[in-house]
């Protein structure tokens, strides 16, 4: 593109991004250093943010562009080759001493000219320390790459990275819409496959690497069961003491990281701990003996939940992999298995703030977007999914802190005795007028246009509003919000159904709405 067509002068690209901000950032960094020793993780994270802001302020846009397009891609290539060849494991075993390219290349069978180029770039990027010509000292970062839970993320995520690289082409072909179809993702588009990310990685042989990556992601983060959620008070107290009773079911629990940690912290917990995941994942548990008495149960969480009436069903970083329509199916199966007044659903995931999101959370949202057509959810998103769609009750969101997953505690609402549950939409429409008449309510049917959804739902004299939405109505959030407001204001009952497969209603939902009025 010719520079004369650009809206700004080219000189903006070769001058610092924000030189005026540098003195203030330096002062803030100096102040942050003073509290680093006593401020914990939060102080360190704040200092990282300030340091990155300082670097970006000093960089010229041209330098930032080169960093993105050349430097970071080259670093990823170099790191991944080092993982594949065993370079980082060898250097870690050799110890904290300068190591020559000639010696490393001879032992690993790598062309020394190639290894020299890769390590030179990683040194220039600050990932390894250059001590002499073709001689390097391992850093804590490169030594950590000898740990499978750290190194596994590189081949796992690079194996599907084209989903992000080609996202602009995918989005352009779909009219720049926010995608929600789990069967038509950017990753599928990029690799010309109909398999989801998990199946595709398994086919490539990177499924175990992804499981390790999830273990690495959890390292150094506050454990939900000791730092965020009061397990003794909310779970153990009041639980069934029968040793055969299901106590905690980890749904989609991968290779058991969370349950092992839970058992270590609460060895005298009542009942059984049960690990559920796909058969292929259960069979990839690297050291099954560490699970001890934890029961392994192959299960696809899009199918009916086999364990009924557990004290708690726990999901860690599962629902963010799926758009709302699939989550609604998953949650419906869990809801059907839960015992009202006893069972809890604990969802351990990010709750994004309205502004000033932490970079780890926003980065994960981009992963969800480009691989799954799903998302990290905001506070409003969670209430919409869990209460409005799934018909559960959020008891409390236990905040994990900035950049840390919260624990969303949910319960199933008790049903009103004598209220029948319509089996399908047609039965519901036949059932509701009679129910309204019994209660002396006025009944209004309407087609929900965008204006009705956002402005007019619940206005007027009707006590019961059934809104049928036409297929072109693609954004029901306003309608749901309006209906929720009506329910909270008292005396008004809103029933709404969707005429499109993207937002299916479970048959029991109509009954659940009655129970909430």
Measured from the Cβ of residue 132, the count of other Cβ atoms closer than 10 Å reads 9
**Contact predicate 429/464, CB 8 Å:** no
d(CA 142, CA 139): 5
Nearest to 297 by CA among 340, 337, 332, 335: 337
Alpha carbons within 13 A on the beta-carbon side of 300: 7
Dihedral sign from CA coordinates of 505, 506, 510, 515: negative
d(CA 230, CA 72): 41
Nearest to 373 by CA among 321, 315, 301: 321
Question: Given the DSSP bridges, would you call strands 272-277 and 246-251 parallel, antiparallel or unpaired?
Answer: parallel
Burial class (CB in 10 A: 0-12, 13-18, 19+), 517: middle
Residues 365-395 as b/e (b if ≥16 CB within 10 A, e otherwise) read bebbbbbbbbbbbeeeebbbbbbbbbbbbbe
d(CA 115, CA 122): 11
Contacts of 358 (CB under 8 A, 6+ apart): 45, 402, 403
d(CA 128, CA 467): 62
**Contact predicate 247/312, CB 8 Å:** yes
Burial class (CB in 10 A: 0-12, 13-18, 19+), 23: exposed
Known catalytic residue at 320: yes
Q: Which residue in the list 257, 269, 316, 320 is annotated as catalytic?
A: 320
d(CA 366, CA 375): 8
Active site residues: 320
């Amino acid at each position: 593109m010719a520079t004369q067509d650009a809206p700004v002068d080219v000189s903006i690209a070769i001058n610092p991004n924000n030189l005026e901000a540098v003195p203030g950032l330096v002062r803030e960094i100096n102040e942050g250093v003073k509290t680093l020793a006593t401020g914990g993780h939060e102080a360190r994270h704040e200092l990282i943010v300030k340091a990155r802001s300082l670097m970006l302020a000093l960089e010229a846009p041209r330098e930032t562009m080169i960093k993105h397009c050349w430097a970071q891609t080259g670093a990823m290539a170099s790191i991944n080759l080092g993982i594949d060849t065993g370079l980082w494991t060898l250097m870690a075993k050799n110890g904290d001493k300068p190591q020559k390219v000639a010696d490393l290349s001879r032992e690993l069978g790598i062309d020394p000219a190639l290894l020299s180029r890769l390590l030179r770039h990683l040194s220039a990027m600050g990932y390894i320390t250059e001590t002499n010509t073709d001689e390097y000292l391992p850093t804590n970062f490169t030594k950590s790459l000898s740990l499978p839970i750290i190194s596994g993320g590189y081949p796992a995520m690079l194996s599907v990275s084209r989903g992000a690289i080609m996202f602009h082409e995918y989005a352009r072909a779909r009219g720049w819409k926010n995608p929600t179809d789990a069967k038509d993702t950017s990753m599928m588009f990029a690799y010309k496959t109909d398999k989801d990310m998990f199946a595709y990685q398994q086919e490539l042989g990177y499924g175990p690497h992804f499981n390790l990556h999830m273990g690495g992601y959890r390292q150094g983060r506050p454990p939900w069961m000791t730092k965020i959620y009061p397990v003794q008070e909310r779970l153990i107290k009041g639980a069934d003491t029968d040793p055969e009773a299901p106590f905690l079911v980890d749904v989609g629990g991968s290779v058991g990281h969370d349950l092992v940690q839970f058992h270590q912290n609460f060895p005298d917990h009542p009942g059984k701990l049960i690990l559920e995941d796909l058969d292929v994942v259960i069979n990839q548990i690297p050291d099954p003996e560490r699970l001890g008495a934890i029961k392994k149960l192959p299960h696809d969480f899009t199918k009916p939940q086999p364990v009924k009436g557990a004290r708690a069903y726990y999901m860690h970083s599962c629902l963010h992999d799926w758009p709302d329509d699939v989550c609604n199916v998953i949650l419906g199966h869990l809801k059907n298995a839960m015992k009202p007044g006893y069972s809890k659903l604990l969802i351990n995931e990010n709750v994004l703030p309205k502004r000033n999101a932490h970079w780890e959370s926003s980065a994960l949202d981009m992963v969800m977007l480009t691989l799954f057509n799903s998302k990290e959810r905001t506070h409003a998103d969670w209430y919409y999914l869990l209460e409005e769609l799934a018909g559960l009750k959020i008891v409390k969101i236990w905040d994990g802190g900035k950049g840390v997953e919260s624990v969303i505690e949910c319960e199933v609402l008790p049903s009103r005795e004598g209220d029948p549950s319509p089996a399908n939409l047609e039965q519901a429409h036949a059932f509701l007028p009679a129910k309204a008449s019994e209660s002396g309510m006025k009944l209004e049917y309407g087609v929900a246009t965008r204006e009705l959804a956002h402005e007019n739902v619940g206005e007027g004299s009707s006590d019961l509003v059934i809104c049928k939405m036409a297929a072109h109505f693609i954004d029901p959030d306003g309608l749901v919000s309006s209906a929720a407001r009506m329910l909270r204001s008292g005396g008004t009952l809103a029933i709404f159904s969707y005429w499109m497969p993207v937002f299916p209603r479970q048959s029991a939902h109509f009954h659940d709405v009655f129970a909430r009025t």
